[in-house]
């Protein structure tokens, strides 16, 4: 590291001194905390992003958001060249950099890491970081800190992409690194044109809903997603989107609104009521990477029928399976190898959804909790679908399968488009462009749900009847050291302490349709307990009994 580089880094350190006594850890959500604690962290993540750009010789993204957290919080996460999450290999360096206690320590960390990674800091290679932020009031100040961090690496350029949803920034990073146009308008154009293509391929006899109108009412969480959805909706002719809680009327971000609130509390968000009974309703989270639907009950009840990420996954899987079946019927075995479709869930997926997917004959895979694990597994398939119950998920298409679809589509363009096999090619190609290939995206997900419901001729009520969730309960047990619990098999089986899993099995066997697992939290000093059974009373009892077992085996106090 030359003197110019050292001087720039020392200058950035002095501008944003770390808050004493605060230690942050980079996880699935990146760094997240009260916004007042984060200027130093944002500056250092800017450094990290620039170094990542140097290492990968690619454009990197830096998103400033705290998603579904309260408005006084903020956070930051990195988008890798693929548009996905920061490589797990770099997470320990992110932690060390954010928590470096002195300028000398910061320089030492960077020197050691760039040497280990073989990163040249000669200022010759192009370095670019795209920065985005949501609508939080703290975003501008944190953007300034992040920009200073990026430009403290010699030759690095920080490009402010403005106020965006998190998935928009990830999409832009992926597009830039594929040599494609990557403005916000390009994002809107790709989604709207793909949506129109799919609408045009709906069978004539299914052009109307089962007794439903063309309107969907969306809770925007008073965040960035509501504003962007309004802009996107202007490009759609066949769908009316009414956005409430857009944040433009003074509503508070994530306060009694948003997908996280709706999914966890199972109650109506603000501004929804009995007048909305029978209408398709949906909710985005604060940065628009989660989506859930819900049904407003008759007058007199605040509870809702939740149509969560598990049911979104099931809807997508049904549609894609149907299209693949059309291909399998028509294609010559010599030039077409059946595409492998895989579904990926975590143990928190409701057991009823898993049973339903398996009954369809689909390959269901499980990973540990966390989007990075789900995404990685889904990428192993020709088409991989993953969703968490909270509404975060997407559909991934392999490059080889997209290449095959494009080649077949080119052949179709000059010939007949009448067979279902040919239409299936066009539908799947349009889905690959509509759904965000980089990360879960509530806007693209909502459009895909809407077009599939129209394709099926289904109301939201028909969709919700695919299966009925088993009653469940989640609890947590306070611990002194959560690492004392070690799990395997996608966190569903305890291997330490010895004997605990056997005790859980014995307790679970007492309940019809019983299922229970425990896992150490990734963020708190607690062990989490999840239980399902045929009745809510049984699920509650099972969860409480297993929480007591955890306490007995580990000597902790439950709460």
pLDDT digits (tens, 9 = 90+) for 313-358: 999 999 999 999 999 876 554 455 689 999 999 999 999 999 999 9
Q: Mark the binding-site residues for Mg(2+), compressed into ranges.
A: 67, 285, 287, 289
Evaluate whether 379 touches 396 at the Cβ level (below 8 Å).
yes
| 451 lies in the same domain as 480 | no
The 10 Å Cβ neighbour count of residue 140 is: 11
| 267 lies in the same domain as 359 | no
Total number of domains constituting the chain: 4
Q: What are the catalytic residues?
A: 67
| 114 lies in the same domain as 220 | no
Evaluate whether 110 touches 13 at the Cβ level (below 8 Å).
no
As a whole number, the mean pLDDT across the chain is: 93
What span, in angstroms and rounded, lies between the C-alpha atoms of 249 and 252?
9
pLDDT at residue 481, rounded to an integer: 83
| 274 lies in the same domain as 403 | no
| 271 lies in the same domain as 407 | no
Higher pLDDT, 196 or 417: 196
* 148 Rama class: left (phi>0) / alpha (psi -120 to 50) / beta: alpha
Whether pLDDT at 544 is above 90: yes
What span, in angstroms and rounded, lies between the C-alpha atoms of 354 and 349?
7
| 37 lies in the same domain as 94 | yes
pLDDT at residue 191, rounded to an integer: 98
| 361 lies in the same domain as 416 | yes
CATH code (residue 151)? 3.40.120.10
pLDDT band, very low/low/confident/very high, at 419 (cuts 50, 70, 90): confident
pLDDT at residue 210, rounded to an integer: 47
Alpha helices in 139-277 (DSSP H): 139-151, 166-177, 184-200, 224-233, 259-265
Evaluate whether 370 touches 391 at the Cβ level (below 8 Å).
no
Q: Does a structural domain hold residue 170?
A: no
pLDDT average, residue stretch 100-125: 92
| pLDDT tens digits along 127-168 | 999 999 999 999 999 999 999 999 999 999 999 999 999 999
| 116 lies in the same domain as 140 | yes
Q: Does a structural domain hold residue 126?
A: yes
Q: Does a structural domain hold residue 173?
A: no
Evaluate whether 558 touches 518 at the Cβ level (below 8 Å).
no
| 358 lies in the same domain as 277 | no
Evaluate whether 19 touches 30 at the Cβ level (below 8 Å).
no
pLDDT at residue 559, rounded to an integer: 41
Q: Does a structural domain hold residue 181?
A: no
Q: Does a structural domain hold residue 336?
A: yes
Among residues 93, 27, 63, the alpha carbon closest in space to that of 438 is found at 63
| 8 lies in the same domain as 153 | yes
| pLDDT tens digits along 255-293 | 999 999 999 899 999 999 999 998 999 999 999 999 999
What span, in angstroms and rounded, lies between the C-alpha atoms of 67 and 83?
17
Evaluate whether 142 touches 72 at the Cβ level (below 8 Å).
no
Which sign, positive or negative, has the C-alpha torsion 251, 253, 258, 261? negative
pLDDT average, residue stretch 524-540: 93
CATH code (residue 547)? 3.30.310.50
Whole-angstrom CA distances from 418 to 412, 413, 424, 454 are 10, 11, 10, 20
The last residue of one of the domains, among 408, 442, 464, is 464
The last residue of one of the domains, among 116, 136, 163, is 163
Evaluate whether 290 touches 391 at the Cβ level (below 8 Å).
yes
Q: Which of 50-59, 65-74, 385-394, 413-422 has the lowest mean pLDDT?
A: 413-422
Q: What SS3 string covers 225-250? A: HHHHHHHHHCCCCCCEEEEECCCCCC
Whether pLDDT at 33 is above 50: yes
The last residue of one of the domains, among 283, 305, 327, is 305
| 420 lies in the same domain as 487 | no
Whether pLDDT at 555 is above 90: no
Rounded to 10°, the helix 442-456/309-330 angle is 60
What span, in angstroms and rounded, lies between the C-alpha atoms of 32 and 94?
13
pLDDT at residue 28, rounded to an integer: 82
pLDDT band, very low/low/confident/very high, at 110 (cuts 50, 70, 90): very high
pLDDT at residue 237, rounded to an integer: 84
pLDDT band, very low/low/confident/very high, at 125 (cuts 50, 70, 90): confident
pLDDT at residue 139, rounded to an integer: 98
Please measure the distance between the N-terminal and C-terminal CA atoms of the chain and give it in whole angstroms.
51
Whole-angstrom CA distances from 101 to 9, 22, 31, 97, 150 are 14, 10, 17, 9, 20
Structural domain range at position 490: 472-554
Q: Does a structural domain hold residue 292?
A: yes
Higher pLDDT, 248 or 94: 94
Q: Mark the binding-site residues for substrate, compressed into ranges.
A: 388-390, 519-523, 528
Share of the chain above pLDDT 90, in %: 82
* 19 Rama class: left (phi>0) / alpha (psi -120 to 50) / beta: beta
CATH code (residue 412)? 3.40.120
| 344 lies in the same domain as 204 | no
Q: Which of 200-214, 282-296, 427-441 has the lowest mean pLDDT?
A: 200-214
Q: Mark the binding-site residues, compressed into ranges.
A: 67, 285, 287, 289, 388-390, 519-523, 528
Q: Determine the 3-state secondary structure of 449 from DSSP.
A: helix
What span, in angstroms and rounded, lies between the C-alpha atoms of 555 and 45?
39
Q: Does a structural domain hold residue 194?
A: no
pLDDT average, residue stretch 34-40: 96
Among residues 37, 34, 25, the alpha carbon closest in space to that of 66 is found at 34
pLDDT at residue 124, rounded to an integer: 78
What span, in angstroms and rounded, lies between the C-alpha atoms of 353 and 388?
11
Q: Determine the 3-state secondary structure of 347 from DSSP.
A: coil
| pLDDT tens digits along 397-411 | 999 999 999 999 998
């Amino acid at each position: 590291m030359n003197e110019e580089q050292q001087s720039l880094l020392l200058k950035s350190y002095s501008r944003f001194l770390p808050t004493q006594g605060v230690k942050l850890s980079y996880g699935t959500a990146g760094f997240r905390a009260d916004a007042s604690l984060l200027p130093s962290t944002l500056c250092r993540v800017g450094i990290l992003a620039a170094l990542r750009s140097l290492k990968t010789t690619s454009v990197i993204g830096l998103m400033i958001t705290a998603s579904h957290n309260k408005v006084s919080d903020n956070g930051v996460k990195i988008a890798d060249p693929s548009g996905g999450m920061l490589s797990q290999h770099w997470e320990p360096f992110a932690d060390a950099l954010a928590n470096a206690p002195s300028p000398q320590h910061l320089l030492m960390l960077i020197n050691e890491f760039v040497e280990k990674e073989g990163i040249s800091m000669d200022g010759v290679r192009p370095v670019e970081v795209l920065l985005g932020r949501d609508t939080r009031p703290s975003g501008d100040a944190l953007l300034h800190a992040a920009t200073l961090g990026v430009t403290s690496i010699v030759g690095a350029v920080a490009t402010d992409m403005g106020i965006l949803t998190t998935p928009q920034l990830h999409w832009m990073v992926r597009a830039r690194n594929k040599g494609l146009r990557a403005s916000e308008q390009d994002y809107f154009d790709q989604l709207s044109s793909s949506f129109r293509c799919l609408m045009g391929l709906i069978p004539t006899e299914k052009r109307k809903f089962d007794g439903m109108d063309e309107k969907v009412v969306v809770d925007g969480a008073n965040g960035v997603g509501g504003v962007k959805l309004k802009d996107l909706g202007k490009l759609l002719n066949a769908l009316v989107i009414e956005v409430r809680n857009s944040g433009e009327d003074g509503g508070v971000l994530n306060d009694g609104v948003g997908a996280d609130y709706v999914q966890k509390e199972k109650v109506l968000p603000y501004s929804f009521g009995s007048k909305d009974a029978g209408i398709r309703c949906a909710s985005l989270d604060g940065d628009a990477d989660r989506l859930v639907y819900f049904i407003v009950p008759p007058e007199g009840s605040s509870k809702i029928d939740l149509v969560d990420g598990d049911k979104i996954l099931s809807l997508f899987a049904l549609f894609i399976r149907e299209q693949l079946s059309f291909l399998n019927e028509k294609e010559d075995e010599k030039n077409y190898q059946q595409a492998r479709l895989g579904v990926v869930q975590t143990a928190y997926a409701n057991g009823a959804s898993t049973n339903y997917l398996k009954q369809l004959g689909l390959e269901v895979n499980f990973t540990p909790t966390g989007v990075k694990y789900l995404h990685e597994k889904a990428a192993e398939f020709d088409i991989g679908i993953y969703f968490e119950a909270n509404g975060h998920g997407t559909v991934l298409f392999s490059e080889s399968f997209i290449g095959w679809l494009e080649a077949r589509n080119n052949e179709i363009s000059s010939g007949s488009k009448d067979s279902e096999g040919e239409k299936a090619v066009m539908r799947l190609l349009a889905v690959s462009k509509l759904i965000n290939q980089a990360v879960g995206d509530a806007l693209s997900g909502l459009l895909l749900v809407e077009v599939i419901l129209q394709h099926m001729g289904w109301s939201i009520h028909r969709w919700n009847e695919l299966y009925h969730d088993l009653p469940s309960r989640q609890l947590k047990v306070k611990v002194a050291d959560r690492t004392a619990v070690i799990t395997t098999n996608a966190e569903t089986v305890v291997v330490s302490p010895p004997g605990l899993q056997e005790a859980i099995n014995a307790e679970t066997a007492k309940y019809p349709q019983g299922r229970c697992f425990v896992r150490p939290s990734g963020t708190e000093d607690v062990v989490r307990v999840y239980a399902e059974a045929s009745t809510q009373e049984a699920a509650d009892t099972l969860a409480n009994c297993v929480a007591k077992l955890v306490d007995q085996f580990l000597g902790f106090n439950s709460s």
